[in-house]
């Protein structure tokens, strides 16, 4: 009986480590995806603003 309990406990602990590792990898992937998405949106806004300035023109002199 003790051997079965020890074996079940060992398996439960090993699976817990695997779950944490997979969850950590998933969070990293999501964070990277959000960061890339934010960069793309920022770049798109910058390009659109530059296009509007080029079409409308600006009275600001540099």
For residues 49 and 17, which has the higher predicted lDDT (pLDDT)?
A: 49
Distance (Å, whole) CA 1 – CA 19: 27
Q: Can you give the pLDDT at residue 52?
A: 76
Place of tokens 């600006």: 58
With bands split at pLDDT 50, 70 and 90, how would you rate the model's confidence at 16? low
User: pLDDT by residue (tens digit) across 17-45?
Assistant: 666 677 778 888 888 888 888 888 888 88
The tokens describing 13, both together, are 């602990």
The rounded percent of the chain whose pLDDT value lies above 70 is 66
User: What's the predicted TM-score (pTM) here?
Assistant: 0.44
What single DSSP character describes residue 56?
Answer: H
Give kind and range of the element (H or E) at residue 62.
none
Distance (Å, whole) CA 57 – CA 46: 16
A 10 A CB-CB count for 59 gives 5
Q: Can you give the pLDDT at residue 11?
A: 66
């Amino acid at each position: 009986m003790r051997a079965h309990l020890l074996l079940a406990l060992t398996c439960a602990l090993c699976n817990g480590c695997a779950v944490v590792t997979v969850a950590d990898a998933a969070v990293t992937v999501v964070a990277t995806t959000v960061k890339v998405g934010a960069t793309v949106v920022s770049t798109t806004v910058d390009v659109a603003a530059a296009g509007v300035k080029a079409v409308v023109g600006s009275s600001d002199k540099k």
